[in-house]
Amino acid sequence: MKLFELLSSHGHERLAFHHDAATGLRAIIAIHSTALGNALGGTRRWAYSDEAEAIRDVLRLSEGMTYKAAAADLPMGGAKSVILATAGNPATEAEARAMGRFVETFRGTYIAAEDVGVTPQFVDWMAAETEHVMGGDSVSHGGDPSPFTAQGCFNAMGACLQNLGKPVNFSRLTVVVQGVGATGSRVAKLCQQAGATVLVTDTNVANLQRVVKELGVGVVDGDVFSTPCDILAPCALGGVLNQQTIPKLRCGIVCGTANNQLLDPIEDGANIKKAGVLYAPDFIVNAGGLIRLAGLYIGLSEQQINEKIRHIESTTAVVLRDAQNMPSAYEAGVAYAKSRIDRGRSNKKATMTPA
Ligand code: NAD
């Protein structure tokens, strides 16, 4: 693996590795961009098959955070961290505190939060070692961001329907949700409350049964990608839209909370468009949690935060409109985010120029 080539190919600024001998923690922090400010991004704790997979994941996730923050009009950069866990080993306070000390070495350039495998309790343990962490229940503030992520995703679905010239009326729609964890279960609930017929699937049987019991929704029968529906909401892990799955899709819209849904953003982004499926870029759709935590970190009011989460609908609408003249919605989303970064850079320069 040519690390510097990997870093320069997507414009990453920094990749830092950490090993804590006492706890065995192996973790990586990737800073993609600080062009607009310090960078907030979750910590993912996952049993990666090898180190290369973890490096690729943290690089892609951190790049996505740059676009997510910029598109949400936050004065923040993009970063992310991963912990290389061993399957079956539960997280401990000692491990979380070691991670907190690693985060602290960045002195606020990187602000950690939860992601897959990291709970608000883990975040609070990290917060014993660093103030640069958000999303805990008590020590660190902000709480679980997933309700805000789910709300933003639901707002984006409205923009998708309008783009297809359909009324924003869920009562005649079928929504399929893949992964009913923290965000997916809430997306399912919002769609159901709006009147949609909701079908769910999850590899974790306990999660699946809990949500089916709580909401009374149906379970996907067979392959999730070939299930006929109006909206498919991928709310589990990334890479689910690829050469194998795109030809199977029988939905009009893909709009979900999962990060990095396109395995190959350029090729699969173009292929899903050619397949006639409207794809709402994940980093626009799932910005609600970031808006919440970054908003609190930089001192926005509740009202300003909620306004920004409402704005996810109009941002999605603009990006989907731009995408009509571009190879893919992914590229339209990146172009939109980059235009915000350029504008932010020139505003920064203007304020730094002596009068
Ligand atoms: P979570 O761990 O709470 O839920 C994920 C669920 O997906 C779990 O129930 C898991 O069993 C299930 N799952 C995993 N693989 C699956 C598969 N192949 N098929 C079906 N189900 C599967 O995670 P979450 O917080 O809901 O996050 C989900 C996705 O959304 C992740 O990609 C995450 O990075 C992204 N995201 C989350 C937030 C947030 O606020 N939590 C914000 C932005 C993006």
Here the CATH number for the domain that contains residue 206 is 3.40.50.720
Question: Is residue 139 situated within a structural domain?
Answer: no
* pLDDT at position 185: 98
* Alpha helices (H) along the chain: 3-9, 51-71, 93-104, 120-127, 146-163, 184-193, 205-215, 265-274, 282-285, 288-298, 302-323, 329-352
Q: What is the pLDDT of residues 172-229, one digit of tens each?
A: 999 999 999 999 999 999 999 999 999 999 999 999 999 999 999 999 999 999 999 9
Residues 54 and 86 in one domain: yes
- Pick 100 or 117 by higher pLDDT: 100
As a whole number, the mean pLDDT across the chain is 94
- Cα dihedral 329, 331, 335, 341 in deg (nearest 10): 110
Q: Does the CB atom of residue 265 touch ligand 1 within 6 A? A: no
Q: What is the pLDDT of residues 122-172, one digit of tens each?
A: 999 999 999 999 987 765 678 888 999 999 999 999 999 999 999 999 999
Best of 46, 68, 115, 211 for a ligand 1 pocket test (most atoms within 8 Å of beta carbon) = 115
Residues 26 and 55 in one domain: yes
For residues 251 and 228, the answer to whether their CB atoms sit within 8 Å is yes
Q: What is the pLDDT of residues 343-353, one digit of tens each?
A: 877 776 666 55
Q: Is 80 a catalytic residue?
A: yes
Question: Is residue 7 situated within a structural domain?
Answer: yes
Residues 115 and 153 in one domain: no
* pLDDT at position 116: 87
**Residue 184 Cα to ligand 1 middle (Å):** 7
Q: What is the pLDDT of residues 21-67, one digit of tens each?
A: 999 999 999 999 999 999 999 999 999 999 999 999 999 999 999 99
Residues 286 and 155 in one domain: yes
Residues 89 and 217 in one domain: no
User: What's 164's DSSP letter?
Assistant: T
Question: Is residue 71 situated within a structural domain?
Answer: no
Q: Does the CB atom of residue 261 touch ligand 1 within 6 A? A: no
Give the CA angle between residues 246, 248, 253 to the nearest 5°: 65
Residues 191 and 227 in one domain: yes
Residues 86 and 193 in one domain: no
Question: Is residue 347 situated within a structural domain?
Answer: no
Residues 182 and 117 in one domain: no
| Domain interval for residue 183 | 146-290+296-339
Residue in 2, 68, 80, 338 annotated catalytic:
80
Percent of the chain at pLDDT exceeding 70: 97
For residues 281 and 335, the answer to whether their CB atoms sit within 8 Å is no
Q: Does the CB atom of residue 227 touch ligand 1 within 6 A? A: no
* pLDDT at position 349: 65
Counted domains in the chain: 2
* pLDDT at position 190: 98
Residues 94 and 220 in one domain: no
Residues 122 and 163 in one domain: no
* pLDDT at position 142: 80
* pLDDT at position 355: 46
Q: Does the CB atom of residue 239 touch ligand 1 within 6 A? A: no
* pLDDT at position 140: 61
**Residue 258 Cα to ligand 1 middle (Å):** 6
**Residue 353 Cα to ligand 1 middle (Å):** 44
Question: Is residue 232 situated within a structural domain?
Answer: yes
Atom index in ligand 1 nearest the CA of residue 114 equals 41
> What angle do helix axes 184-193 and 205-215 make, rounded to 10 degrees?
20
